[in-house]
Amino acid sequence: MTRAFTFPGQGSQTVGMGRELAENMPVAAQVFEEVDDALSEHLSRVMFEGPQEDLTLTHNAQPALMAVSIAVIRVLEKDFDVPLATAAAYVAGHSLGEYSALTAAGALTLSDAAKLLRLRGEAMQRAVPVGEGAMAAILGLEMADVEAVVKEAVQDGEVCTAANDNANGQVVISGTKAAVERAIPLAKEKGAMKGVLLPVSAPFHCALMQPAAEEMEAALKETAIQAPVVPVIANVTAAPENDPEVIRRLLVEQVTGRVRWRESVLKMAELGVDSFVEAGAGKVLTGLVRRIDRSLTGLSLQTPTDIEAFATSLKS
């Protein structure tokens, strides 16, 4: 069995995530304390106690989700003696989850990842005035049809693009609000089962995010990046990357670029991966893996019990 570890993106956050880990595993509690220290605030309190509307704020959700993912990895490595480098052949993360993947693989420090994700969330929010951008999920159309829809939807310099290729028949579009709203009925005309606006605060992964990309480029220039202990499948290329300077460049491109998650999973399968382990909050990626290729297996690690069972299975 060849494994990849995957790391969830925004939308997987829930109040209480990571709390059981922190209460039962000192190694996990240390991760949350380190993130709190890096951000000079008690983000962990928002994670454990809410309110949900505060946790959902982009600049909180991004470092919070990363913290839970790294807590899982640290517990696995330090309490159960399962190093990531021996348990996984590749790592990959969905959008902000790519930072979690890089941190898990030793390319970024936990403190730097927390600071970068806080900035990333703030920069994305600043890039487009509230109400001017939107995102929508288009269900039941393949990518070629979605690309035709978004091309038809734009008018007078508007932006509308396929932002997340999540799975077969599950594509998220992003851009100028009017263009995204125009795209939904066009998608239905082409046979989409559903098109629904998403409750997001900004139009991520489209050209409107260019100001945020420039902020991230400046911050990443000042951030040390090491070669990861296992290759990272990059969002924007859906290919394995090891070179720190390439990773740095791709993290900038990722802000405006498409999240090629379906292609990433298929690439890992092509490279021999048959088992996907989702580390952190929720089971979104585990579900997407099965939707992309039903021959692949998926497993979610969120609690001490999950981690112990997984570690035991490796040693049996």
Positions annotated as catalytic residues are: 95, 205
Spatial contact of 140 and 169, defined as CB atoms under 8 Å apart: yes
Can you tell me which residue has the tokens 């982009």? 58
Q: Could you give the dihedral angle defined by the CA atoms of residues 273, 275, 278 and 284, in that order, rounded to the nearest 10 degrees? A: 100
Spatial contact of 293 and 300, defined as CB atoms under 8 Å apart: no
What is the gyration radius of the CA atoms in the chain, in angstroms?
19
Rounded to a whole number of angstroms, the distance between the first and last alpha carbons of the chain is 14
Enumerate long-range contacts of 53-61, CB under 8 Å, 24 or more apart: 55/13, 55/14, 55/15, 56/13, 57/121, 57/201, 58/10, 58/121, 58/122, 58/124, 58/125, 58/201, 58/202, 59/118, 59/121, 59/122, 59/125, 60/121, 61/10, 61/13, 61/96, 61/121
Q: Which residues pair with residue 137 across a beta bridge?
A: 172, 196
- What burial letters (b/e) apply to 35-70, b meaning 16+ CB within 10 Å? bbebbeeebbebbbeeeeeebbbbbbbbbbbbbbbb
How far apart CA 257 and CA 129 sit, in angstroms, is 20
Can you tell me which residue has the tokens 């508007």? 158
